[in-house]
Structure formats: C-alpha cells, structure tokens
Structure 1
Amino acid sequence: MDSLRSAMDERFRGTLSPAVYDRSVAYGDTVAKHVLAWASTDRFLQTRGYPKYTVSAAPGRWVPTPPAYMDAIEANWGVLRPFVMDSGSLFRLAAPPSFDTTKSSPYMRMVSEVLETSRHLTDEQRAIAAFWDCNPYVMHVQGHTMFATKKITPGGHWMGIVAIASRNADADIMRSSEAYARTALAMADAFIATWAEKYRSNVARPETMINAYLDERWEPVLQTPPFPEYPSGHSVVSTAAATALTQLYGDSVAFVDSSEVEFGLPARSFPSFEAAAAEAAISRLYAGIHYRPAIDEGARVGRQVGSLLVSRVATHDPRAKQVVAAAPVRAATAGER
C-alpha cells in the first residue's frame, strides 16, 4: 500500500496545486479513518475466533467433497454486519426439498435432474459453465501433492462487468465510482445473505448425493466448492449485482463480457445485465454443482437484496441527476479532481 500511495502522490503532485493536493489528501485520510473505524465493528474479527464448522453425520447434510475434501469455508460469514440489510437473515428462502431417497420424491427428482442434465450437455452449455466458473481456488491433486490454480472470483467477475459497462457508457469518474460502490454493496450483502442460509439449511452437494445413490463414479463438470449447496451464491450475487447495474445504466444495455479472456476463455455477449445474471445462475446446474431450487430461490433473493439497495441507498442528489442527464458527459479537469 505504501508503494501505491507513493505512485499516486507522484502522479497527482504534478497536476494539482499544492493547496488542492494537501486538502485532497487530508480529506481522503479522514474518509479512510471513518471507514476503517466503522469496519472494525462489523464482527469480522470476532468470527475469526468462532468454532469451525463441524461435519454432521445426518443424512443429506453437507460433507467435504473431492478432490481435496477441504474444510467448510467461512461458516460464520452470515453473521457479519451487512451494509444495507438489517441482518443476514432478512430475506428468508423457501425451504429446500426435504431429504428423501424415495425414487419419486421431490428430493431425488432434484438430484436426478443434475445427473441427467450433465449427461446431455451441449457444447454451448459447457461453455456457459466454464465461463461462469469463477472458482478462485481450483484444487489439483497429483499423488500426494496438492496445489491450486487461482482465478477470478464471482465478485471480481462482476466488478469486471462494472468496468465494461462504465466504459461503454462513457461514464465520468463520479458515475463510475457510483457504479462500483453500489454494485459492491449489493454483492457484499448478497454474500452475507447467501452464507447465512447455506449454513442454516446445510444441504449436501449434488456430487455427494449422486455418488451415494445414483452413480458412484459420476463427477461434476466443474469442481464442487467447499461449502453447503443451498442457495446458489452465483444466483444471489449475480442477480443482486445486475439489479444494481440496471438501476444505474438501464435495463436493455447490451455488452460484451470479456472478463474471462485473460483466463483463456472467449468473451460472451449479453442483451442486458439481467440476462447475464440469469446465465450465471443456470450455469451452476450445467456445472453439476447446484440443484434447481438453489438457483431459482437464489435469484429471487438476489433480486430482493439488489432492490433493497436501490430503495435505501442514495449516492447522489436527484436534482443533480437531472442536470447530469441534460449535460454532455465529459472528463473532469485536473482542478476538479
């Protein structure tokens, strides 16, 4: 961080007067102190000392999955203080189907759908699953050796979409900052809501159930993440992010998502943010790592999280919005920054 600050100092000292520069730095430091003080009370530090998740032997409950059989990640994330929601359990999901291995039960029909979908995937569906993988820590096992490939996260992918949308809209620094901030807030609360329900319902992953009751050799298209299944985090987070972006940039904004190009995947085109979120959600069924109820309910709650942000959080004066809309967009001058 010191090197970053030095680089920023060098960049702006030459474009701003000493008085403006000093006032800007002082204001930034004041804001940072306020943010850090507020963040220190979000219960993150306390959760570092909470007990780790204990695997249950009860049928239908989550257990570690291949290939690394990692421990459950962040079992207490759902108790963190949200930014906009009143609590992580503000929006309750419908209960997932009850564990029942009877062949005709809703539970086994749900499990069977994942298996049958994986057996009949098209090339396009495989491409969709790969594009929205967003697994930041893919594990590889070779004999007694384990190592990980680090890639983009779901949040990082949507931050990439924010950048693309802001460039396409020729947004200035203030509008771009608003887009980043609102989308980040929506996703942060979406993750908290998701994790609160994941460890409350504690549903086993398709890989566990299919291997136990339908096909012991079956493997999902993508690696199963190390935490409970319900709901789909991609569905909640993507829909919340899309709701925030739609409110800012519009509901029919076509764009080309090149966020995954640096990771070797081709760009994909979407007619809207909502369409991208819907594809991200269904990709988890194609990938073999989520059941349909987790996807459908996840999208519903994600929309609630995003809509709450839209209704509660104001990031500019509505009167100023009218002025900006009527004026041509231009880059800020050095003296305005």
Structure 2
Amino acid sequence: QFEDFHNSHAYDLLDQYKDKVPCFNDDIQGTASVVVTGMFSAMRALKQQLKDQKVLFLGAGSAATGIAHLIADAMVEEGLTREEALARIKLFDSKGLVAKKRTAPLTPAKMPFAAEDAPAETFLEAIREIKPTAIIGVSAQGGAFTKECLEEMAKINERPIIFALSNPTSKAECTAEEAYTYTDGRCLFACGSPFKPVEYKGKTFVPRQGNNHYVFPGIGLGAIFSRAKLIPNEVFLVAAKVLADMVKPEDLERGSLYPALSEVREISAEIGAAVAGYIFDKNLAEIEKPADLKKAVKDAMWDPKHAHFIQE
C-alpha cells in the first residue's frame, strides 16, 4: 500500500519499482481488478460489451485512475483504440469535471481522462451532460449519489450501473436501499461497504462488496508460486476475468455482481492458477511450469491446520 507513504507518492513508487521487482499496489491495481470484475458481470446481465459503456467517476485519486486505466485496457481488448477508450471515461473531483482547461495543472494520472471543456460544476450536471451508463464512486463522500443523481441515471438508462465503493458505510456514496429505490429496482449495484439484502417491490436484491480481498490473495499466490520476476499490469485483467466467470447466473438474478465471499478459497486458487499461467506464458517465472498447474497451485496453498506442538 504505497499510499502509506502519502497518496501523492503512490503512482511514482509503483512506476519506479514495477519493472524492477515483483510488486503491485493493491489500492491502485487490486481495486481496479475487482471493479472491472463488477463491470464484466454487469455486461453479462445487460448482454452488452464494455467498449460501448460511458463511465463517470466521482473521485479522481489513485484508486479512481487505477480503475479507469484498467477499464480502458478492457475496452481496448474489445476493439477500441486507446484514445477511443479513454474518451469514454471521465473523472469528477472536488473542482468539478476534470478538464484540460483548468487553471491549476492536472496530475499525470488525471490527464488522460481530461475533457476538453468542463462546464459541469456539480455531479448531477455532469451526469446530465455526459449521460454515463455507469457511475463509480471512490470519493469517500457519504451520500454524494443523491436521490436526484440516481433518478437521473435511471432516466438515462434502462439499467444504470451504480458502484458506491467508498467505505466505511458512513462514507458510501449511497446505500443499497437508496440505489434500488431511486432507480425503481433497475440498477446494477456494487458497494464498498457491507449492506443487507434489500426488499423492493416483491424482489430481494443481494448486494455484494467489490472488495480487494477477492483478488489480492490469488494474485499474490500466483506470483509467489511461479516465482515471478515481475507482476505486469495485464495480470489484473486476467484476475478480473477469472473472478467474473465465477459469478453464477443465480447470483446475477439476485443482483449480485460478485460470487459469495464464502467461496474465497476456491476463488483464490483459480485466480492463482490463472496468474501463474500468465507469468509462465510470458517467460517471467523462475521455475518450470508444472504439468498440472491448477493442482500444483492448489496444493501450494496454506492450509490453516496445525500439529499439536505442546509436549506432554
């Protein structure tokens, strides 16, 4: 967590060391992987492609820009140019919509997503101007997705994507109940704080957290197992795809964009094997690839059972 050395250093430290030692930043890259998983799951529910979405972020820190870059990577995989992908993603921070014409210079992380102009001074104005299909909150501003914002998203989209990812609960951009109520039960919702199931018009929605603990154990496992020389950014897209594939149709039916957390050990094994496979395929491993990679990775996982060491 390079942010522990202050947020302003997170990207610099990652850029300085990512091509020298096997490291990753969970706030920037792990968060991005889990959020992209949620977007992939939403695409399954909508029967659409990520490249056709327009995404508006509330918040423009290292977590937001990390997520935004990985969404752009996924859009490029689906056929867009990098420029086209970046143009479909916008950031809104404390000064309004992030734009190139600001008086104060933009940080390098924000610059790729800057709009040409930014007349929108409120988040509601930005929604009306950009008409996003998805809003992603990483602002730590409790209640920032207001009733009006949610209703506007429901007006623009048949099934709006609403990700209120800030935690703890007091800092969540909206609650699960607010999201479902103000979008008439039509939204695809993910959260950063835990929320109980929501009953709305006779249907029970089960919101799940887009939490990093879905991916970082598996990513670490795959990297350690393969003795990775480096951990390339593509690994986080690999992890997102594996996690999204583990979301069952019945999960989506209940509004859950992630698998149950009770499955985290199985999830970690699958992600670990996929990450290790990528490391081997890119010749970044310091050991030979085993014949049965999935079994070898699963066998390498720590099992929390201990022998009795107390002498009689």
TM-score (norm 2): 0.28
Choose between structure 1 and 2: higher strand proportion.
2
Choose between structure 1 and 2: higher helix proportion.
1
TM-score (norm 1): 0.27
Q: Which has the higher contact order (CA 8 A, sep 6+)?
A: 1
Higher-Rg structure is 1
